[in-house]
A and B are shown apart, each in its own frame.
Chain A
Amino acid sequence: MISIRNVSKSYGQVKVLHDIDLEIPQSQVFALIGPSGAGKSTLIRTINALEDIQEGEILIDGVSVHDKKTDINKLRANIGFVFQSFNLYPHLTALENVTIAPVNVKNANKKEAEEKGKELLASLGLGDKFASYPGQLSGGQQQRVAIARALAMDPKVMLFDEPTSALDPEMVKEVLDAIRKLAATGMTMAVVTHEMGFAKEICNQIVFMAEGKIVEVAEPKEFFSNPKTDRAQDFLAKVLNH
């Protein structure tokens, strides 16, 4: 589904991704974890070409993401992206946030898009927030609107970059629950996260990154009970001991 092949990326002279290889099969959920500066955000942002790459290629359903001949807008319409800082459109209501892309990108019928948007928002516990502006919503509510906005495009793949890191602790659960439900529907997903419990519980594979490289890929049980590399052992010792 998502094939990342020998991808390298630099900012100027600084190489931040080194020869990344990763295969995410359909309906699987992969967690990307690792210390700050490891390149997790950079990697997940290359998957929908928010970042360019210098070497290698990324294929989604066989379509090359960074190929100049690829219609990037069409491809992105099939990839949902959820940001750490939500990035909702502050001048639009929750419902308009959800319908603006289907109506303008997919030329969806406005009425139908609204019906579907309301359903999505309601399914995420936002049935009474259709007309609210982002500024009137809590962080957890905003992030759920952002998830609804991504889902409104019927994506084949969902990417999350630390979806709960900007949230107050009491709101983390509502967002993780939404992602958990989505995983149960068979959505293919990559999630950058610091929530180890969540990664352990719902992810098929843990991808551990450090210094721009993938250091270890393993099933959660294996990874958390028996990490193979020193880097991963160090990292787990730090994050699990507080």
Chain B
Amino acid sequence: MNYQMDWSVITDNFDIFMEGLLVTLKISALSLAISIPIGIIAGLCRISRNRVLSFLAASYVEVIRGIPLLVLLLWIFFVLGKFMKLGSFWSAVIGLAVFSGAFVAEIVRAGIQSVPRGQMEAARSSGMNYFQAMKLIILPQALRKVLPPLASQFIILIKDSSLASVIAVVDLSLVGHNLVATTFRVLEVWTFIAAVYFVITFSLSQIIRYFERKYRVLE
């Protein structure tokens, strides 16, 4: 091997990288923020006694889990993108949120079911309605319990956001692609990009670990 490392490709194109990074962060943060309410609502529907709601939620989860994210993104981009004039950015956000939401739904469902039945009984017998009991008593406990799997899901979501490049979102990974195509500095570019993804995901897991530790005293 006589490949000579030359990191100037990074320093010279730093601004472009940062723009790509910003897009990656935006897509990840937005789709993450949207996938949480989707996941909570779908998770609640899944355990609902209403057959229609639980069937719809179960279908959503099963269908999404059975489709490759790449296919979902392309499909949303070409179908919804064309009919609803969604640009590639919002197609990516929605695709990722809908995809991740299905996994969050399963995590939330497991979390709710892990809260002892007596909690709901205590809340309801104090006069709270179902939604108050869920919001004030059950979900806060359920979400704390599922912080570790939620963290994994969010990390997967951030990494999956790199697939947005297939629908022409100029995120960090597409910036990398383009630079490799013009400069051929394969190792430098992809090593740098791997490091950046790692810094983002590692920071996120540290933040979540902080909350885990903060709540652990309560058990």
Contact = CB atoms under 8 A, between A and B. Distances in A.
Given A76-B126, A77-B127, A104-B136, A91 B218 contact: yes
A85 B116 CA distance: 11
B115 to A, nearest CB: 9
B124 A50 contact: yes
B122 A104 contact: no
Nearest to A77: B127
Interface stretch (B97-105, B137-145, B177-185): B137-145
B132 to A, nearest CB: 6
Contacts of A87: 116, 118-119, 121-122
Interface string A41-54: 00000001010000
Nearest to B141: A91
A149 to B, nearest CB: 7
Contacts of A150: 126
Given A90-B141, A91-B144, A76 B127 contact: yes
Contacts of A75: 127
Which among B118, B123, B126, B136 has the greatest number of chain A C-beta atoms within 10 A? Answer: B126
Contacts of B218: 90-91, 133, 135
Contacts, number: 67
Given A91-B141, A91-B144, A104-B136, A83 B127 contact: no
A50 B118 CA distance: 11
Contacts of B129: 73
Contacts of B141: 89-91
A81 B123 CA distance: 10
A69 interface: no
Would you call the interface of chain B mostly helix, strand, loop, or mixed?
helix
A30 B63 CA distance: 55
A17 interface: no
Nearest to A103: B136
Contacts of B121: 50, 83, 87
A104 B118 contact: no
B53 interface: no
A74 B217 CA distance: 34
A90 B114 CA distance: 14
B126 A153 contact: yes
A79 B125 contact: yes
Nearest to B128: A105
A100 B123 CA distance: 9
Given A91-B141, A133-B218, A135-B217, A105 B127 contact: yes
Contacts of A73: 124, 127-129
B156 to A, nearest CB: 27
A60 to B, nearest CB: 13
Given A91-B141, A105-B132, A76 B124 contact: yes
Nearest to A76: B127
B215 interface: yes
Given A76-B126, A104-B132, 15 more contacts: A73-B124, A73-B129, A76-B125, A77-B126, A77-B127, A78-B127, A81-B125, A81-B126, A88-B122, A89-B122, A91-B218, A100-B137, A101-B126, A101-B127, A104-B136
The 7 A-B pairs with the shortest beta carbon distances in the complex, nearest first, are A77-B127, A101-B126, A87-B122, A87-B118, A81-B125, A105-B127, A76-B127
